[in-house]
Structure 1
């Protein structure tokens, strides 16, 4: 089976990051939220959802 070096590196980094929080998902999530707040940017912007245009589909 083909192994992609980039994908393998991402898996390694993800495992190291998870291990640094003892695989505690709540602590990992809290850290990601802290990083997002410090960056001043929203990772995902949910403020505007696209509206469904019912007239165009009729």
Structure 2
């Protein structure tokens, strides 16, 4: 498979971002939520969809 330089750059950015938090998912989540609160963008929260029971007869 051919390496895509854009995808590789995204992977490198993501790796560096995670390294800033010692790859701690809770710390990454906390940082992202703080950025979300500071953002002027509106965040839409959708209601969960109900699961339909599709059992075969």
Same fold by TM-score, threshold 0.5 exceeded?
Answer: yes
Distance in 1 (CA, whole Å) between partners of 2:48 and 2:22 is 36
Q: Which has the larger share of helix?
A: 1
Residue in structure 1 matched with residue 18 of structure 2 by the alignment:
18
TM-score (norm 2): 0.73
- Flag as ranges the 4+ runs of structure 1 deviating above 3 A: 47-50
Structure 2: gaps (5+ residues): 50-57
Alignment of 1:1-58 (within 5 A): 1-41=1-41, 42=43, 45-47=44-46
Give RMSD over aligned pairs. Answer: 1.8
Structure 1: gaps (5+ residues): 51-58
TM-score (norm 1): 0.72
Aligned pairs, number:
48
